[in-house]
Structure 1
Amino acid sequence: MGLKQSINYRADIDGLRALAVLAVILFHAGLGVQGGYVGVDVFFVISGYLITGLILQDMEQGKFSLRAFWERRIRRIMPPLVVMLLFTLAAGWLLLLAEDFKELGQSAVAQALLLSNVFFWRESGYFEQSADLKPLLHTWSLAVEEQFYLFFPLVLVALRKFFPSLLRPLLLILLMTSLVIGIYWCRTRPEAGFYLLPSRAWELLIGALLAMSSCSFSPSRRWLPELLGMTGLGMILYAVFAFSTRTRFPGEAALLPCIGSALVIACGTRSMAGRLLALPWLVGIGLVSYSLYLWHWPLLVFSKYWASVPLTVWQRIMLLAATGILAALSWKWVEQPFRKRVVCGSRRSIYAFAAVCSGLMLALGLALHLSHGVPARIPAAAQIYAAGRSDSIFRKEVSLEQAQRGEFVILGGKEHRAPGVLVWGDSHAMALLPVIDELCKEKGVQGFAAVHYQTPPLLSYVPAGPYSLKDKTPLFGAAVLDFVRSKKIPRVVLTASWNYYFEADNSGRIRQALLDTVTSLKNVGASVWVMEDVPNQPFDVPRRLAAEVMFYRGDVNLIGLPLATHRADSIQQHEVLQSLAPQHYTLLDPVGIFLNPQGFCRVAADGRALYTDSSHISTQGARFLRPLVKSIFD
């Protein structure tokens, strides 16, 4: 199996790297590139192409060695990564709350074990902290490549030795298998589809197969590489500017930037696209693209972590300028000395460097985990406010299968008590359950909760959220209605993040769905209460309260959402829910209780946060609503 295409240095590939990294950092900085995340997929194709080409080239020359291959990868990847990790841990000591600093330590351990993507996959979820505030989140893509570098050379050596004539077909089968997994997981397990190697390997394998293929063009058809190269560049740019966070990705959508990248690489400078990418300024950015990628994300995260308002455009541009300076310094003083063997010149020394650095990351990360993020760094009052994040008792959703079996969350204890109330809704209904549970115990009745993430308490409405039941929602609603009928439950409370659903509804379906739901519940003998959503604050409440203690030392009664803003934000919710009451149900509006004398929707009481994030009330917040909720039982 001969190598058909030379893997000498190509300036156009560095230009393609520049395009990829610029797309990624502009996307992360929120500077108008909604699909810039596809730059990572472009990187995967480039990596698969270059790595496979180098391996096959060494095999042809009879000098391939796994130790030499992994040495080159260590020299390329590890030194600037270690510097960035040490900076991030030091900044975390100064800036992060204990829980987040603990998670930073855990992510450092995962990175040292080449499992960063697995860690962030396991940490992803409905109630997990926003990805925008995880300083090492971007290392997931490095872990995917590292895992590929670990296993692919072994696969390639084995296939070339035992099945040389089947090398391309077998790799094509692996590629198609990975693509099918990616498309399936994108629909059924989107977090796994995004983070894990089995659903991403096909992107690297596109580059690998390209490196094995002949890409010659007849001189009489000079137009063909021109057309294919510009088409490929157009495919990448279309994905960068036309895709968004609403695009189902990676899945089949990732084919566009990946095939586009393969076309650009295959045509090289025989195409106008390749000649454009080989422009010196793009090549310069491509040379420092790895360091740019490493540094841009932690700078953005730490800058946003304590900001009480979103960063301005100019602030984000200045951050990217700082990223460029750090990347240039990293390339000159870290990347180049290691790659040119000025530092750790021998193979033994670079392996020793890798072992020591990995051990150091493991030790530091484990220390942060075992010390719970060193909370002694944080003032006691700030720690109490920050603890509001975990001040929630009932974060357990009910599946469709459980609902159909009548297995709902039980409130008020499991004793044989008369059914008193059922709460139906989404995660905002979960947040209300602590006070319902306490009132059920006091009243000597049993309560139930039919709750599922991003799924409103409506019989005929199909939500679109990634965590929702989607088209299974009507079946879930039918199971709830049947349960209310069979158990003769006298009271049903409907509550949800109503604004979320109204914003996605342009046809008035929610109003009719609510009316149908309430009518059906009343027809089976239940009285219905509908609670408007609590005020949604414009910031993460526990972190903002902690900042007030640590930095601003202001009055916590002056940092909540103004009443006028809440009413303006919730006008559709309020008008629709008011219009159907009191003829059909009793309406509960929590704003009156949350409103403080200063005219703000309060975020704290008795030195504790009333929210776990920006919109879900904490157990303390639920108890704060007791006077309102008690009326259901009275």
Structure 2
Amino acid sequence: MLSYRKELDGLRALAVIAVIVYHANLQFFGVQIFKGGFFGVDVFFVLSGYLITGIIRSQMENGLFSFKDFYWRRAKRIIPILITVLFVTSSLAYLILLPDDLIVYAKSLQSALLFGSNHFFYGEDSYTASASIYRPLLHTWSLSVEWQFYIIFPFLIWIINKQAPRHLFPILLGLALLSLLATNAIVKVDPDMAFYLLPTRAWELIIGGLVTFYDRSGLQKYRQSNLESFAYKLIPIIGVFLVLYSMVSFDHSVSHPSFLTLLPVLGTCLFIMFSHEHEFTNKILTLKPIVWLGAISYSLYLWHNPIFVFFRFIKSDEFTLGQFLFLVAISMALSVLSYYFIENIYRRKKISPGLKFAFLFPLISCVIFSVSTPLRDGYPERLGVVAKAFDQLKRNRYYREDGVKMCANQDFENTCKLMGEGDRNLLLLGDSHAIILSEHLYLLTKKKGWTYTNFSLASCSGIDGYYMTEISKTAEHCNRNIPKIAEYIENSGNTKFDIIYSIRVDFRFKGNDHPDAQESVINKLNYWASKGHNIILVYSIPKHRPKVPNYIKQKLGATVFQMNSDFKELKVRTPYKRYLDTTKEGFSVFDSIHGDNVYRVYPSKVFCDEKWCYGKSSSEIYYYDDDHLSIHGARLLVDEIAKNLQ
């Protein structure tokens, strides 16, 4: 059995500090502190692999290992505090989150309860995407990875010990190398898969396990004055340096996890292997306050992210230093309480029946809440008189009528299409700003009896010649669809389309790394117009800061129950001149498309007057974030588009 090592709790303290500061996006004089703080999770993985492997190997070698005992001990360590955090977080989510956000939260809660949140968030936004700072349970992805590892790894070691006990180390090393090689390949084509899923994270946990094969007894026997002594004192310092260097020097733009991740992983291994009481890093990381912080690090890791996220919903996306310290103090207070009154109690060898059943109520409550919230559309009735304004801001999908399900972000072969007998053939093309129009265009064409095809795809131009250059699932999806869309339109024979084209033109053409983007869009749309297709250009909508629904909620109260009739008088607006200034480059692209069959739709006619552009009316919210229309705003813009389809 591995003996307790205070310095490892010290290393946990360093890791959790890095993660917390990273999640706060804390900056001094414009410089982000711990911009690579996400490497703290890699440190946790290595430590977990080391401790779990040590326990399993020791018990198996002494004939004491029991799968039942192993999983029971892991469950006692992980689940009670997790359920506590999920219950409290869900209660706050019900009080604070708007219906659409609450639905997303409930789905993430369901995945966290099943230890599958890494798969859930893999299907959502990237970990580094701007939307991720509004996900209270995003940090549970790493806990899911560890739990999935715990399920598989004991059986793996048990089988190897039965079949080839002398080859345990080379087999584990081979598996770690295979996982690392696969990770380095996958991160180039699907970074989110590499980041979130167990097969591409397993190598970090296994490498931690390999450290248990190193015999540390020699560390206590070396002579104090020779070269060996110097090496044993230097190596742990190098290890901690590699960890710190990774955390302060790299940011989320690097490929991660990859070969680069070996820096903090190997640094952690060096520290685990060679740290001892006679060297510098051990003396620092075994200081009582640091060890204590490491001891509560699991609770602190679980509590800090929901607290940060709810602050962003209530107050502001950015933290001042004072706000950061205040939020950390709250996190610390909750962590201390949960460590002493939950973690320590459930670590006992024997637990009373009462304690075993104590978490049935919060567990069942979380399960019911996670299932019922999407069914109840996020409980919009919580908002009282303004419920209708916030209702389904971001629906943007068809229901199953006419055999149509989702009508955006589809592979070309699964494109949503509504067949009609009318004389018009509508085709929607563009990025997320086209997607927001999809539902009302569907309803319009269904009413008119027209044919409607939806090729809209998030972040995608939809134009042959203007491909996405970044590495992501979305880019791969987009670039695969683009040439097929062009072929579909250009080989349509006598069929003429009304091509409704909508992208965030000022964003797509400002600082774009595709040098031919503007020319590609202009040439292609002019070409289609020359072939007789109607081109309906939807110019950029005004952008607001911050996100409109969040701004409204912040102004009307910290909880949804404080929102009242003040909504009617609240102004959400941005200067019309600013709108014109920020969109002029993109507008010039659309202005370069000509022809008698080119029609222009200006959102400013709907949402602006001569002085201001508005984010809401007295009864409706026009946006679901800062620059995407809500289902209510999209209806108004589609009404404007319909004027060009008479």
AA of the residue aligned to 1:496:
I
**Equivalences for residues 174-573 of structure 1 within 5 A:** 174-214=175-215, 220-269=227-276, 272-307=280-315, 310-339=318-347, 341=348, 346=350, 349=352, 353-354=355-356, 356-357=358-359, 360-367=362-369, 369-370=371-372, 372=375, 375=379, 378-393=382-397, 396-397=407-408, 401-402=412-413, 408-410=415-417, 413-437=418-442, 440=445, 445-464=450-469, 470=475, 476-487=481-492, 488-489=495-496, 491-505=498-512, 509-545=516-552, 550-551=562-563, 553-555=566-568, 558-573=571-586
Once the 2 structures are TM-superposed, how far is the Cα of residue 594 of structure 1 from its aligned partner?
0.7
Give the whole-Å Cα distance in 1 for the aligned partners of 2:415 and 2:94: 42
Give the whole-Å Cα distance in 2 for the aligned partners of 1:466 and 1:561: 34
**Equivalences for residues 123-138 of structure 1 within 5 A:** 130-138=131-139
Give the whole-Å Cα distance in 2 for the aligned partners of 1:20 and 1:582: 60
User: Is it true that 1:149 corresponds to 2:156 in the alignment?
Assistant: no
For normalisation by structure 2, the TM-score amounts to 0.83
The residue number in structure 1 matching 2:41 is: 40
Once the 2 structures are TM-superposed, how far is the Cα of residue 496 of structure 1 from its aligned partner?
0.7
SS of the residue corresponding to residue 499 of structure 2 reads: strand
The residue number in structure 2 matching 1:633 is: 645
Change (3 A) 1:311 1:424: same
Identity %, equivalent residues = 27
Change (3 A) 1:417 1:358: same
Once the 2 structures are TM-superposed, how far is the Cα of residue 58 of structure 1 from its aligned partner?
3.2
The residue number in structure 2 matching 1:85 is: 86
- Deviations along 1:84-111, one digit per CA (max 9) or x if unpaired, are 2332233234323455445555555544
Change (3 A) 1:459 1:551: same
1:385–1:542 CA contact under 8 A, matched in 2: no
Give the whole-Å Cα distance in 2 for the aligned partners of 1:490 and 1:89: 48
- Deviations along 1:336-378, one digit per CA (max 9) or x if unpaired, are 3443x3xxx515x37x745652574134422552365672761
AA of the residue aligned to 1:382:
V
SS of the residue corresponding to residue 415 of structure 1 reads: coil
Give the whole-Å Cα distance in 2 for the aligned partners of 1:109 and 1:456: 34
Gaps in structure 2 of 5+ consecutive residues: 27-31, 399-405, 557-561
Change (3 A) 1:382 1:235: farther
Structure 1 range deviating more: 70-79 or 10-19: 70-79
Change (3 A) 1:546 1:43: same
- Deviations along 1:385-444, one digit per CA (max 9) or x if unpaired, are 332334323653465653xxxx7443xx41344454433211211222344445545666
User: Is it true that 1:15 corresponds to 2:10 in the alignment?
Assistant: yes
The residue number in structure 2 matching 1:617 is: 629
The residue number in structure 1 matching 2:620 is: 608
The residue number in structure 2 matching 1:168 is: 169
Structure 1 range deviating more: 201-210 or 138-147: 138-147
Give the whole-Å Cα distance in 2 for the aligned partners of 1:425 and 1:528: 12
1:393–1:434 CA contact under 8 A, matched in 2: yes
The residue number in structure 2 matching 1:3 is: none
The residue number in structure 1 matching 2:559 is: none
AA of the residue aligned to 2:364:
L
AA of the residue aligned to 1:482:
E
Once the 2 structures are TM-superposed, how far is the Cα of residue 268 of structure 1 from its aligned partner?
1.2
Give the whole-Å Cα distance in 1 for the aligned partners of 2:96 and 2:476: 43
**Equivalences for residues 568-587 of structure 1 within 5 A:** 568-578=581-591, 586-587=599-600
1:108–1:361 CA contact under 8 A, matched in 2: no
- Deviations along 1:230-264, one digit per CA (max 9) or x if unpaired, are 43333322322233333333344433322221122
1:594–1:601 CA contact under 8 A, matched in 2: yes
Give the whole-Å Cα distance in 1 for the aligned partners of 2:36 and 2:596: 47
SS of the residue corresponding to residue 453 of structure 2 reads: strand
Change (3 A) 1:224 1:580: farther
SS of the residue corresponding to residue 258 of structure 1 reads: helix
Once the 2 structures are TM-superposed, how far is the Cα of residue 611 of structure 1 from its aligned partner?
2.7
Give the whole-Å Cα distance in 1 for the aligned partners of 2:244 and 2:329: 23
Change (3 A) 1:356 1:557: closer
Structure 1 range deviating more: 98-107 or 323-332: 98-107
Once the 2 structures are TM-superposed, how far is the Cα of residue 265 of structure 1 from its aligned partner?
1.6
Change (3 A) 1:125 1:315: closer
Change (3 A) 1:98 1:594: closer
